[in-house]
A and B are shown apart, each in its own frame.
Chain A
Amino acid sequence: MKKLHYWERYVQFFLQKNQILFIMKLTVIFICLFSLSVQATGYSQSAKVTLNVKDVSLKEIFKMIEKQTLCRFFYNDQFIDLNTKVSFNANDISVDEVLNDLLKDANVTHKELDNNLVVIAPIDVQAKNTISGIVIDAQTGETLPGVSILIKGTTKGTGTDRQGKFSLTNSDPNAILVVSYMGYEKQEIVVNNTSQFTIRLVASIQKLDEVVVVGYGTQKKATLTGAISSVTTREILTTSNENIENMLTGKLAGIRIVQKSSEPGAFNNTIDIRGFGNPLIVIDGVPRDNIAELDPNDIASVSVLKDASAAVYGVRAANGVVLITTNEGKAGTLKLTYTSSFGVQTPSGLPQNVGAVDWMTLMNEKQMHNANGGSLAYSQADIDQYRNGTLQSTNWFTPVINEHPFQTAHNLSASGGTDKINYYFSVGYMKQDGLWKSGDLNYDRYNIRSNISSKITKGLTAKLMIGATMDQKNQPYSDAWSIFKSLWRQMPTQSVYANNNPEYLGGTVDGTSPMAMSSSDVSGYQQYNNKWIQSSFSLNYDVPCITGLQVKGLFSYDYSMSDIKRYRKVFNLYSYNAVTNIYTPTISQAPNNLYRYFSESPTSLLQGSLNYRHLFNGVHNLNALLLYEESTRNGDNFYASRDLSLQVDQLIAGSSLNQVGYMNSGGLYKLTNKGVVGKFNYDFKSKYLAEFSFRYDGSSKFPTDKQWGLFPAISAGWRVSEEKFMKENKALSFIDNLKFRASYGKVGDDGASSYQFISGYVYPSSGSNTGLAGGAVFNGNFINAVGFTNLPNPNITWFTSNMLNGGVDLDMWHGLLGVSVDIFNRTRNGLLATELLSLPSSLGAGLPQENMNSDQTRGFDVEVKHKSTLGKFIFSFDGNFSYTRTKWLSYIQATAGNSYKNWTNNLNNRNNDIWWGQGYDVQYQSYASIINSSTYVSRSALPGDYAYQDWNGDGVVDGNDVHPIAANSSRPLINFGLSLNVKYKNFDLNALLQGAAMVWASYPEALNGPLYFNPGSALSQFMNRWHPEDPTANPYDPNTKWVSGYYAYTGSVADQNSARGVQNASYLRLKSLEIGYTLDKKLTSKIGISNARVYFNGYNLLTFTGIKNVDPEHPSDTYGYVYPLNKSFNIGLSVSF
């Protein structure tokens, strides 16, 4: 037996001795009362025998054990020791103990291999001519069990054990070892008198035997007929980020992921498949939505169903499905892994404000920019005070922003198992700090996971998967966007503190102080707590009489809750009067107020299925599934707020004035879905592949007679490379795999619908206290009003998608090149729309949605793979490129008044993302170019102003010159990524180049021009502008000399919807770079460490883009004040025991 480390012993001890407790816990957790019998160690330890023998040879005892158990012995008859006669009496003890006892004096040893094989070998012989070693994955360093090791030209060989170790007696020093393992490239090694080997196997690119997670099951990649992209944990973890969605960016063909912000805890991303819209996320077989909050270390694989293969998810699958599976234990001894990383972040593209001199210059320009006659706001003397240091310009970023916030992540996992039970446990912790110097913006997350499966009895496996996440986001009372807005607005001539006295916060010019807003101590805080508990219990029964038939039942119960607390605290901002030497306070945010919000959403899901898998005559491979599924989703919530009489951040401190107790009626729901799924896979010799599936699906969102629908899909594949003419053709022998695929299916979408078949009233009516109120004040009290629902549509139903996909997979030269190409076409019919555009509004009612419009999304995905070794270098490249675009096929609308409007308004048979705007020529270069302009120019025009195209040539630039200038899809139409992996000795390098094209952005307000607010500051980029050489010169004097710049003269801003305002946001970036070093195993193994790796990881290190001043992914949401994206630099450590 291998020597156990103390902690391994402890865990094994725990598992053995605490079985009862363990069982009790399981029993309590599940309503189904099972009494589980769990064995957690090797077979020879668990298999019990009863022996009462006298004077029999060891060999005979072996035969007796073989009769009582599944153990099989391997030995050489010639070992004399085995003929020794012994006597033995024991009842119900383990084989292991029997052997230990029997062989303790003999000159042999025993060792258990996989498949219950016990090898008996003489000790001395084994030691003498033995070559031994360990086989590991070249990429990950993980040990590989069950690898076949043969001496070339003989039948002599062995396999590696669970620790990946092997030993082999050998007499020929020139023998060649042939090492082969499924999914890896075969290797031959010359023994050459070496006795100790570390063999690194390289995963084969073909991965034909790789198993991919598909809807309601798994399938060999070789026989897939659908368009499915997948990545495994190893590929995911090469990027280091707080959000797993960002770790997938650029790695999956056809998946568009846009990161909009790096605000801790915001997880402000959009993800879609082929431009289809929000996909269904399925985690461990259950639709769940907290993908961003998962611990990436827990994820085993991510598969994306991009075509009709999603149809088994019926009415929720129209946008494709992302399938996530979490880790499960593998048979083998306990493996403990600890990973941790520490890093700093820095904003990626965060414009800064101008200083006082520049600001005053811009202010002067803005006031001079008046065709009626301008004036200077600041005299040269005013400006000189800042130039010569009499007055100090204020840099507002310094006191507010911490340019290098910290982040860290840790995960500890334990996994292992026996043939009876497998387990995976993990705990994770993640922390990310935000950009405020106060430290009051941060995010913490704790994840725990316990995935256990156990063979309860013959043929019956129980599986319990529990994951829990708890997170907390802390932030100051003000949201990040409002702080950036305030920060960008603060003038450099204003000081942070009144009279520069740190006791008195200043900032009454626009009433805000980013100092106060970014500090919880000053202005209060917001706290967002979320908890998710996700559990599923399943039983899988192999029906004994029919080989290949499985019955499975699954029950899942998820519970998530959200708890929000907002504490608004009163604080003072001061203004200083130098005459009276008085600091006058102005009270902000009065009165103190506390707001609490609580919501919960429990979800349950039941599944029962029959699965039949059989290979007939060795050629007809059939896999059939029939499944019933039912799920219920509930949502409930309430909130309360009180003004506080005491400055204590609890509701109990509230006064009775202005109490609010209420709920968000949108968060109150109960939804039920039911469905029957059938799926039939057939392949002939893995050559001709076919799949048919259907789902008969029901949704509670529709009227009784419209609830159910049938969603069928069909797909087929042909592996040409399996045909004789290919296999026997030498010229084509470089082709390892060539497969053609096609799929077609129909799926539904009930996402957008909300009881529009019912007429009535909403109570209370929605409204806003600051805008249109949801009620009226009668007799001094606010009376809630009824809200009118839209006119009912009794015929409303889901809309349907028809998904068509064609693909080809080609693998050549044993991994040197793999190419996969898919083209797709999705048409959707019955998209919800209102007749609003064609019915007169004098009807006076909100119109119901009807299933009227249709659209079409088309595009392609390409994946290219390369893998090779060059000496000790192991290379691999994975590239992907995808394009998608959607157009309306039909769009209900009315005919416009004139042909131009008809043309611009028409949406039929036209891309749905056209950005209409003014064309742009140049900036006017001189007064002459303004005067000589062929179009009408307003009298306020100046050199440097933006000249828009007179597109229709009528001499006037106006609304009639608007034409398509870009695509306004907010997400890139083209996405691509290239992963590069290099491994050399103990070093490894992973780089991900990722990019997007055909994407445009336009920014408003402070990002569009200087001095947007009055009063307010300007971003420094706007100093690059047209302006008179002499800052006091009248810009309307034709003799004024101008200095050219990128932007127009202060006061002229670009039209946001023009070719000038709309910027090309295409980009290419080094999304991640990881350099790792694995410590020498010889050294680390001495202290019980099987693998130790240190690494550096960088995120968003380099970006190449045409967009100015901000990150290309920075959204224009909330007027562009969104918290910026970040770059991060991390060092990390991963240790396995």
Chain B
Amino acid sequence: MKKFKYLFLIFCIGLLACNKLNVPPMNIIKDQDVFNSVDGITAYMAKLYSLLPVEDFKYSANLGFDNWNYIGNINSYAGEGGGRNISSISNGNTGYWPSAYKLIRQANYFIETLPKYSADFSNNQTLINQWLGEAHFIRAYTYFALAKRYGGVPLIDSVQYYPGQSLQELQVQRNSEEEVYNFIGKDLDIAIQGLGITSEQKGRANKYAAAALKSKVMLFAGSIAKYNTTQLFDKSGKRLLGIPASKADTYFKASYDASMLLQGHYSLYRAGNPDKYQNYISLFFDDNSSENIFVKYYHYPDVVHSYDALCVPFQQTGPGYSSYMNPTLNYVELFDGLPKNADGTLKTQDANGKYVLYSDRMGIFANAEPRLRATVIFPGDVFRGQVIDVCRGIYTGSVTNGISSLIPDGYTGTYPTTNLKTSSTSSQTPYTLPNGTKMNPAGLSGVFTGGGVCTKTGFFIRKYMNPNKAQADMVLHHSDQSWIDMRYAEVLLNRAEADYELYTDGKTDKDYRQDAYTCINDIRDRAGAVLLTDPNQLNINIIRIERKKELGFENKTWWDIKRWRVADKEINNATYRILNPFYAANAYAYFFVTRLQEENPIFTFNPLWYYEPIPAGELITNPNLIQNSGY
């Protein structure tokens, strides 16, 4: 009996062997663990760079940043590409505002905190300045992402606290658009000063990345000053949208100067292959390219995108997604080396209005500019060792007198069903040609009339498509090619444009037109395009088209046509043109029909959209904000 009672007593005392209530969380670390080592700084930088608003393979106009779904990308909005899921465009507002200020705060915090720990780095001022330069680069990059969307935004250059600061202090007013661009310019100057000539690690900024960004931002600011017509003033008379036209040349000059900083340090990529077509393809895959200035890297499986899967021709799907974005004929027609009608459209009929027959579909593209072929997959071209088989149908009618137009110009209806064999899906019933051989009515990659997955324009994208990826990897979340955010060709184009604007505005301190001419020809030479022979041939349009051609499908044209304020003219009740190859059964040859996209989507850019609306929630939480015009 007694022993039980003692044991019971022990049992009860055991209850008092308490656990502590002060249990620290197991996964939270402090400032001093981050700012005292290079590894800690690197981890901080990894955060800043991961949040950087890079409009890459994961940016879409309707879903914003860092979304695998590239389908609604801004190339489609700009008219370069189309697809079966793009039937309208919008102002592209995805509410980036709050994300930007998060990153800005983190850059501000870094700028304010790092100096406190400089002793941990033996007070190495070069190192400290380099990191501070990086933080300023990031802040500038982020403010540019805000400015090009919203115009003038509140400039916050130090860490705010709550509680600690009053609500009134936190309800910061918008700065003028001009102030924002000047602020970005200043930040970039600090970055250019502090950063070294090589990045600390690949994937991070160096001095020239900051300079390239400055050339781009200042050109943007100059364009706004020169072309914008939208105005918005706050009560104090501060201009929130637009920049006085008188400032345009200051910005163009700043852009030019920044571009010149890269002169001699970077060059257009020519080392990949003597063949200009192959070289242009390699440009996007060579990690050591002399052209790469600022690159966002991916690494399977830690951080991936889905570009290959979404853009791959249907016959090479991995399986699943494919053919989501198809270049428009309008884009293709910008290039040289194609048979053209007088109005610049692709010529597919002879003088008698009969279709020109080609035994090989590539025949019509025989002389296409190498850069175009490296940007766009033509019907019948070879990609990843296979002929990309695009065919709208088999024409079974007589060919003895040539084939007349199947449909009239500008026609938006369906093809006539007589003399045509088509396929609604990829499971095809073969058609027997007069010589007895069998042939599928549609190509392996389309066109399928039943709304299936296939090209809707006749083309696929070539640029950035990984030629060495196994077909099994052409699936979502398996791509990790890097995104070249800024390359030297863009800097040259910035420079040429700034040059020409300065030239047009009568600046004569340098021979700006000659400089533009040099830049354009440098690009054209590398592209394998027809060179200009005289600076006199230049005009602003040629420079702009060169930019569209060179930077196609790089998510830049949308912003270009916006800053030039031409989007509302280019995309006005527009349906894009497409190319339909047909096989003439009795001629054993292909012919091409150009027409408007069969689904009849109509795209219109509303001039309001030159600025995006400030997200409604921001206006509620900050009554000092004034909404952009028209929203």
A interface residues, Cβ below 8 angstroms from B: 32-34, 363, 366-367, 370, 372-373, 375-379, 382, 456-458, 460, 491, 493-495, 507-512, 539, 541, 551, 553, 555, 570, 573, 575-579, 584, 586-591, 606-608, 628, 630, 632, 658, 660, 665, 668-672, 674, 698-700, 704, 707, 754-755, 758, 760-765, 767, 769-789, 791, 835-847, 894-897, 905, 1014-1015
Given contacts A840-B171, A1014-B85, are A671 and B451 in contact (CB under 8 A)?
no
B299 within 8 A of A: yes
- Asked whether A511 lies within 8 Å of B321 as measured between CB atoms, the reply is yes
Q: With a CB–CB cut-off of 8 A, which chain A residues contact B23?
A: 670-672, 700
Chief secondary structure at chain A's binding surface? loop
Q: How far is the CA of A791 from the CA of B85 in the complex (A)?
A: 41
Q: With a CB–CB cut-off of 8 A, which chain A residues contact B410?
A: none
The listed residue (B14, B46, B305) touching A785 by CB distance below 8 A is B46
Q: With a CB–CB cut-off of 8 A, which chain B residues contact A773?
A: 50, 66, 302-303
- Asked whether A507 lies within 8 Å of B319 as measured between CB atoms, the reply is yes
Tell me the nearest residue of chain B to A783, going by C-beta: B46
B200 nearest CB across to chain A (Å): 8
B29 within 8 A of A: yes
B412 within 8 A of A: yes
Q: With a CB–CB cut-off of 8 A, which chain B residues contact A589?
A: 475
- Asked whether B439 lies within 8 Å of A579 as measured between CB atoms, the reply is yes
- Asked whether B162 lies within 8 Å of A835 as measured between CB atoms, the reply is yes
Q: With a CB–CB cut-off of 8 A, which chain A residues contact B414?
A: 375-376
The listed residue (B104, B172, B304, B619) touching A770 by CB distance below 8 A is B304
Given contacts A373-B412, A897-B619, are A782 and B302 in contact (CB under 8 A)?
yes
Q: How far is the CA of A760 from the CA of B154 in the complex (A)?
A: 27
Q: With a CB–CB cut-off of 8 A, which chain B residues contact A510?
A: 320, 453
B117 within 8 A of A: no
- Asked whether B618 lies within 8 Å of A457 as measured between CB atoms, the reply is no
Q: With a CB–CB cut-off of 8 A, which chain A residues contact B244?
A: none
Q: How far is the CA of A840 from the CA of B98 in the complex (A)?
A: 9
Q: With a CB–CB cut-off of 8 A, which chain A residues contact B396?
A: none
Q: With a CB–CB cut-off of 8 A, which chain B residues contact A606?
A: 14-15
15 other A-B residue contacts (CB within 8 Å) besides A510-B453, A579-B438, A771-B58 = A33-B7, A457-B1, A575-B426, A671-B23, A672-B20, A760-B29, A763-B29, A776-B50, A786-B44, A841-B97, A841-B618, A842-B154, A842-B618, A1014-B451, A1015-B452
Q: With a CB–CB cut-off of 8 A, which chain A residues contact B300?
A: 658
- Asked whether B12 lies within 8 Å of A608 as measured between CB atoms, the reply is yes
Q: How far is the CA of A847 from the CA of B4 in the complex (A)?
A: 56
Q: With a CB–CB cut-off of 8 A, which chain B residues contact A835?
A: 162
Q: How far is the CA of A495 from the CA of B426 in the complex (A)?
A: 12
Q: With a CB–CB cut-off of 8 A, which chain B residues contact A894?
A: 620-621
B607 within 8 A of A: no
* Residue of A375, A493, A509, A573 most packed against chain B (CB within 10 A): A509
Can you report 15 residue pairs joining A to B where beta carbons are below 8 Å apart? A34-B4, A363-B451, A494-B427, A507-B319, A511-B319, A576-B427, A578-B430, A584-B315, A699-B21, A767-B50, A776-B303, A842-B101, A844-B160, A895-B620, A1014-B85
B525 within 8 A of A: no
Tell me the nearest residue of chain B to A606, going by C-beta: B15
- Asked whether A777 lies within 8 Å of B302 as measured between CB atoms, the reply is yes
Q: Which of B44-71 contact A (CB under 8 A)?
A: 44-47, 49-51, 58, 65-68
Q: Mark B407-431, 1 if CB is under 8 A from A, else 0.
A: 0000011100100000011111110
Given contacts A770-B477, A791-B162, are A460 and B30 in contact (CB under 8 A)?
no
- Asked whether A841 lies within 8 Å of B621 as measured between CB atoms, the reply is yes
In order of increasing CB-CB distance, the 8 nearest A-B pairs are A511-B320, A844-B105, A587-B472, A590-B472, A782-B302, A785-B47, A375-B414, A777-B297
Q: How far is the CA of A844 from the CA of B440 in the complex (A)?
A: 58
- Asked whether A377 lies within 8 Å of B424 as measured between CB atoms, the reply is yes
- Asked whether A776 lies within 8 Å of B301 as measured between CB atoms, the reply is no
- Asked whether B600 lies within 8 Å of A372 as measured between CB atoms, the reply is yes
A737 nearest CB across to chain B (Å): 40
A542 nearest CB across to chain B (Å): 12
- Asked whether A508 lies within 8 Å of B451 as measured between CB atoms, the reply is no
Given contacts A511-B321, A788-B106, A844-B102, are A783 and B26 in contact (CB under 8 A)?
no
Q: Which of B16-51 contact A (CB under 8 A)?
A: 18-31, 33-34, 40, 42-47, 49-51
Q: How far is the CA of A682 from the CA of B230 in the complex (A)?
A: 79
Given contacts A672-B19, A770-B68, are A777 and B42 in contact (CB under 8 A)?
no
Pick the interface stretch among B201-209, B213-221, B336-344, B544-552.
B201-209
Q: With a CB–CB cut-off of 8 A, which chain B residues contact A367?
A: 451
Given contacts A553-B8, A769-B302, are A509 and B426 in contact (CB under 8 A)?
yes
- Asked whether A509 lies within 8 Å of B452 as measured between CB atoms, the reply is yes
The listed residue (B154, B318, B450) touching A377 by CB distance below 8 A is B450
B119 within 8 A of A: no
Q: How far is the CA of A367 from the CA of B47 in the complex (A)?
A: 47
Q: With a CB–CB cut-off of 8 A, which chain A residues contact B108?
A: 844
Given contacts A33-B7, A778-B202, A783-B46, are A769 and B30 in contact (CB under 8 A)?
no
Tell me the nearest residue of chain B to A580, going by C-beta: B438
Given contacts A512-B320, A778-B202, are A788 and B47 in contact (CB under 8 A)?
yes
Q: How far is the CA of A366 from the CA of B452 in the complex (A)?
A: 13
- Asked whether B318 lies within 8 Å of A587 as measured between CB atoms, the reply is yes
Q: With a CB–CB cut-off of 8 A, which chain A residues contact B44?
A: 785-786
Tell me the nearest residue of chain A to B155, going by C-beta: A842
A188 nearest CB across to chain B (Å): 48
Q: With a CB–CB cut-off of 8 A, which chain B residues contact A791?
A: 161-162
Q: With a CB–CB cut-off of 8 A, which chain B residues contact A836?
A: 621
Q: With a CB–CB cut-off of 8 A, which chain A residues contact B29?
A: 760-763, 786
- Asked whether B303 lies within 8 Å of A769 as measured between CB atoms, the reply is yes
- Asked whether B43 lies within 8 Å of A586 as measured between CB atoms, the reply is no
- Asked whether A665 lies within 8 Å of B27 as measured between CB atoms, the reply is yes
- Asked whether A373 lies within 8 Å of B413 as measured between CB atoms, the reply is yes
Tell me the nearest residue of chain B to A836, going by C-beta: B621
Q: How far is the CA of A373 from the CA of B596 in the complex (A)?
A: 13
Q: With a CB–CB cut-off of 8 A, which chain B residues contact A754?
A: 25
Given contacts A769-B301, A894-B621, A1015-B451, are A668 and B27 in contact (CB under 8 A)?
yes
Given contacts A769-B301, A773-B302, are A763 and B413 in contact (CB under 8 A)?
no
Q: With a CB–CB cut-off of 8 A, which chain B residues contact A588?
A: 318-320, 472, 475
- Asked whether A577 lies within 8 Å of B472 as measured between CB atoms, the reply is no
Q: With a CB–CB cut-off of 8 A, which chain A residues contact B98?
A: 841
- Asked whether B302 lies within 8 Å of A508 as measured between CB atoms, the reply is no
B406 nearest CB across to chain A (Å): 14
- Asked whether B426 lies within 8 Å of A763 as measured between CB atoms, the reply is no
Q: With a CB–CB cut-off of 8 A, which chain A residues contact B373?
A: none
Q: Mark B379-422, 1 if CB is under 8 A from A, else 0.
A: 00000000000000000000000000000000011100100000
- Asked whether A779 lies within 8 Å of B424 as measured between CB atoms, the reply is no
B444 within 8 A of A: yes
Q: With a CB–CB cut-off of 8 A, which chain A residues contact B322?
A: 511
- Asked whether A760 lies within 8 Å of B30 as measured between CB atoms, the reply is yes
A128 nearest CB across to chain B (Å): 48
- Asked whether A1014 lies within 8 Å of B84 as measured between CB atoms, the reply is yes
Q: How far is the CA of A372 from the CA of B410 in the complex (A)?
A: 13
- Asked whether B27 lies within 8 Å of A674 as measured between CB atoms, the reply is no
Q: Mark B181-216, 1 if CB is under 8 A from A, else 0.
A: 000000000000000000001111000000000000
Q: With a CB–CB cut-off of 8 A, which chain B residues contact A674?
A: 18-19, 21
Q: With a CB–CB cut-off of 8 A, which chain A residues contact B18?
A: 630, 674
B586 within 8 A of A: no
- Asked whether B42 lies within 8 Å of A778 as measured between CB atoms, the reply is yes
B449 within 8 A of A: yes
Given contacts A760-B30, A775-B302, are A539 and B600 in contact (CB under 8 A)?
no
B282 within 8 A of A: no
- Asked whether A553 lies within 8 Å of B430 as measured between CB atoms, the reply is no
B365 within 8 A of A: no
B100 nearest CB across to chain A (Å): 8
B555 within 8 A of A: no
Q: How far is the CA of A755 from the CA of B602 in the complex (A)?
A: 53
Q: How far is the CA of A507 from the CA of B319 in the complex (A)?
A: 9
Q: How far is the CA of A767 from the CA of B303 in the complex (A)?
A: 9
The listed residue (B51, B172, B203, B429) touching A842 by CB distance below 8 A is B172
